[in-house]
Amino acid sequence: MPWMNRVSAERIKYEFKDVEVEYTEHTTNLHVKKEKLIDLLNFLKNKEGYRHFIDFFCIDFPDKKERFQGVYILYNPDENERVIVKTWAKDGKLPSVEKLWACAKWAEREAYDMFGVEFEGHENLRRMFMWEGYEYFPLRKDFPLQGFPEVELPSLTEVMHGRTDPPSHDYELLHTKIATLEDLERTEKARLRKKAQLVLNWGPLHPGTHGTIWFLFDLDGENIVQCDVILGQLHRGMEKIAENLHYFQFLPYTDRMDYISAICNELAYVNAVEKLLGVEVPEKAKYIRTMFAELQRINSHLLWLGTGALDLGALTVFLYAFREREKIMDIIEGNAGYRLTSAFLRIGGVHYDLAEGTLDVVKAFIKDFPERLKEYHQLLTRNRIWLRRTKDVGIITREDVFNYGLTGPVARGSGVPYDIRKLEPYAAYDEVDFDVPVGEVGDVYDRYLVRMEEMVQSLRIIEQCVSKLEKLPKSAPYINKEHPAVMAPKEEVFKDLEDMVKNFRIVVHGENAPPGEVYASGENPRGELGFYIYSTGGSKPYRLRIRSGALYNLSIFPKLIEGRTIADAIALLGSLDPVVGETDR
C-alpha cells in the first residue's frame, strides 16, 4: 500500500504551516504540534479522505522533554494510501480524538493504561487491560520487564500448613501485583453506571464469549440498555516482551496472539520485519507461506462457523466443522511439527521445506472441501431459524466501518472491500487470482456469507499455490540464507562452518536492524493485523506496536448491542469473532 503522495503532503503543508512532512524509507509521517492536532486530523478525515482509522498508540522517549509521542495511522480508502501522524504530548496530555473516530476511545484508553498519557475530553478514561488501582504503566521504558516484585503470595501448602524453614518448595516469595476481588469490583463499578434493572456479568468465563472477555450488560428485562467490555484477562504484555527480544525470538509469541490463525500472524510479523531488514524471500517460500496462511484461514473460519452455529443452538455444525479442521491441522502438523502454535515461518523463508506428500494431501483436501461447504450451506444458509436469528441483527454501516476502524470480514460484510491481500499484496498474493467477497447490508447474515465465500476463495488460492509449487524444483531454496540476518536451516548448520557461525552470531547478538520505522500488516481471518516497528538500530525493536484487528472489531460491540437482547449478543459476538489472545495481547 503506498503512503501519502507528495501532492497531498504539499497541500497539507500549505494549509498547516507548521506541519513537518517526513518521508522515511517505508512510511510518510506528518509531525504536528499538539495544539494543531485536532485540526489536522479533522482536515485529513473530512477534506483529504483519510477516513479509515487504523491505529493509535504511544511511544515512550524518556530522554526527551515531552517524553510521550502519540502516533496515529490513518487510511484513505479512495486513494488507497496510508499516513502516519505524530505529535508530542504536553505534560503527559493529549487531546482525545473520539469525536472524530469512535474507536479511538479504546486505543486512547490503552495508551492511558500502558503509558499514563491522559486524554483531554475522553468520556470515560479508564484502564483498558489492567485493573483500576494498578499504579504502574507497564509500557513505559522505566518499567522493568519482570515488573516490581512486591506482593507476597503464599502457596496453597503454606496456607494450609504454615511456612516452614526451609520452604516447602523452591519458588520466589515476592510476586508482581495481581488484582484482588476488591480491585475487580472497583473495575466493574468504574465501567458502568447502572441505569436499568440488573447488571449481568457475562464472562469472564462464559461459554458464549469464546475466551475470557468480561461483558457487563445492564439489563431491562432481556433488553440490554448499555454494555461495556472489560478486557485484559489474557493480557501478557506482548509489546513489552517484544521490546526485550531479538526480532526472530518474538516470532513464536505472535502465534499466541490469535492462536487460531497462528501462521497468518507469523506472516504479518515476518512481513514487517523483512521490510525493516530488507530481506528478499525466495519464491518457493512465498508460495508455501501463502498456501499455509490460506489453509489457516479456512481453519479459522471453520472454527468461527462451528462455534457461531453452536452459540445459536445448531449443535451438529460444530462437529462437522471440526472434522474438516482436523484435516488442516494434520497438514500443518505434518509440515511444522505443531498443530496450533506452529512457529512455521522464519524471517527470510520458512522453517522446513514441504514435507513429502504434502501437496497430495492438500489436493485431496481441495477436492473434498467444496462438498463439505455445501453441507454447511444446506444446514444453515436457507434455514429459516438461522435467517431469523441473523438477518437484520447488528447492522454496521459503512461510516461505522471507518469510524470504528473495522477490518477483515466485518468490514467486507458491510460492503467495504478492504482486503490487505489485494491492496498491499504480501507473500505471493499478487501472483494468485482471487476475489474479495463483500456484503450489502452489513448484518450478521452478511458477515456469515462473506466468511463462507472467503473459504471458497481461499481454496482457489491454495489450488494455484499447489500447482505452482508442483512446478518448482525440489531443490529450490525455501529460505534466503544469503542474507546476514537470516538463519540457515538446521540441517546445514551441522555441516557448514560458516552457517554455524552465522547462526551462532544471530542467536547471541540478534539481527542488526537499521534505524527506521515500518508499518506492515497482514489480512488475518479477524481483520488487519498490523505491526508497527520503531527501530533505533540494534537487534531489538525500540517499540513494537501490534495493531489488532479483533480489538477494533470488538470496539463496535457495545454500540451494536444497545437495545437488543442477550440472545442477539451471542449472534453478534459470533459474527465479530474476536479472539481474546489478540484483543488483549
Partner 1 sequence: MSEVLINLLVTLIKVFVVLGVFLGVGAYLTWFERKLAGHIQGRLGPKLVGPFGLLQPLADGLKLLTKESVIPDRADKVVYYLAVVLALAPAIMLFSVIPFGPSFSLFGVEIKPIVADVNIAVLLVFAFGSLLVYGTIFSGWASNSKYAFIGSLRKAAVIIGYEVVLGFSVLGVILLAGTMSTTGIVQAQIERGVWFIVYQPVAFILYLFCMLAESGRVPFDIQEAEAELVTGYHVEYGGMRFGVFPLAEWYLNVMALSAIAVVLFLGGWSGPNIFGPLSPYLWFLIKMFGLVFFVLWLHWTLPRFQAKDITEIGWKIMLPLAILNVVITAFVYYFI
- Residue indicated by cell numbers 461447504: 373
Q: What is the DSSP letter of 300?
A: H
Nearer to partner 1, 570 or 576 (CB): 570
Write down the least CB distance from residue 208 to partner 1, Å: 4
Reduced DSSP (H G I as helix, E B as strand, rest coil) percent helix, strand, coil of the chain, to 5: 45, 15, 40
Residue 157 CA, distance from chain mean position: 40
Measured between alpha carbons, how far is 530 from 515 in angstroms, rounded to an integer?
A: 19
Measured between alpha carbons, how far is 209 from 233 in angstroms, rounded to an integer?
A: 12
Nearer to partner 1, 198 or 501 (CB): 198
First to last CA, the chain: 25
Write down the least CB distance from residue 554 to partner 1, Å: 17
C-alpha torsion 297→26→411→379, nearest 10: -10
Listed residue (104, 139, 137, 138) closest to 122, CA to CA? 104
H or E segment at 349? strand 349-350
The region that residue 391 occupies, defined by phi over 0 for left and psi between -120 and 50 for alpha, beta otherwise, is: beta
Write down the least CB distance from residue 391 to partner 1, Å: 12
C-alpha torsion 423→424→429→432, nearest 10: 40
Nearer to partner 1, 348 or 558 (CB): 558
Q: What does the chain come to in residues?
A: 585
Q: What ranges make up the beta strands (E) of 448-515?
A: none
Cα dihedral across residues 448, 452, 455, 457: positive or negative:
negative
Nearer to partner 1, 58 or 309 (CB): 309
Q: Are 336 and 288 in contact (CB under 8 A)?
A: no
SS3 call for 528: strand
Write down the least CB distance from residue 157 to partner 1, Å: 23
Preceding peptide of 204 cis, ω within 30°:
yes
Cell of 573: 459476538
- Residue indicated by cell numbers 466443522: 321
Cell of 428: 505471493
Write down the least CB distance from residue 230 to partner 1, Å: 17
Write down the least CB distance from residue 408 to partner 1, Å: 22
Nearer to partner 1, 81 or 311 (CB): 311
Write down the least CB distance from residue 184 to partner 1, Å: 17
Write down the least CB distance from residue 571 to partner 1, Å: 8
Identify the burial level of 470 via C-beta atoms within 10 angstroms of its C-beta, where 0-12 means exposed, 13-18 middle and 19 or more buried.
Answer: exposed
Write down the least CB distance from residue 393 to partner 1, Å: 10
Residues that bind partner 1 (CB under 8 A): 198, 200-201, 206-208, 219, 222, 309-316, 319-320, 323, 379-380, 383, 385-386, 388-389, 565-570
Nearer to partner 1, 276 or 570 (CB): 570
Measured between alpha carbons, how far is 114 from 241 in angstroms, rounded to an integer?
A: 13
- CA 394 to each of CA 51, 385, 547, 562, 570: distance values in angstroms, whole numbers, following the listed order: 22, 17, 24, 10, 11
Nearer to partner 1, 56 or 445 (CB): 445
Axis-axis angle for helices 566-576, 283-311 (nearest 10): 170
Nearer to partner 1, 379 or 436 (CB): 379
Measured between alpha carbons, how far is 302 from 458 in angstroms, rounded to an integer?
A: 12
Write down the least CB distance from residue 209 to partner 1, Å: 9
Cell of 228: 461495556
Write down the least CB distance from residue 312 to partner 1, Å: 4
Write down the least CB distance from residue 379 to partner 1, Å: 7
Nearer to partner 1, 64 or 189 (CB): 189
Q: What is the DSSP letter of 424?
A: S
Preceding peptide of 473 cis, ω within 30°:
no
Cell of 160: 494450609
- CA 217 to each of CA 230, 308, 500: distance values in angstroms, whole numbers, following the listed order: 11, 20, 57
Nearer to partner 1, 145 or 385 (CB): 385
Nearer to partner 1, 92 or 207 (CB): 207
Nearer to partner 1, 221 or 484 (CB): 221
Residues 6+ apart with CB under 8 A from 578: 210, 211, 213, 526, 550, 551, 553, 554
Write down the least CB distance from residue 400 to partner 1, Å: 24
Nearer to partner 1, 77 or 208 (CB): 208
Phi, psi of 547 (to 5 degrees): -90, 110
Write down the least CB distance from residue 213 to partner 1, Å: 14
Nearer to partner 1, 472 or 566 (CB): 566
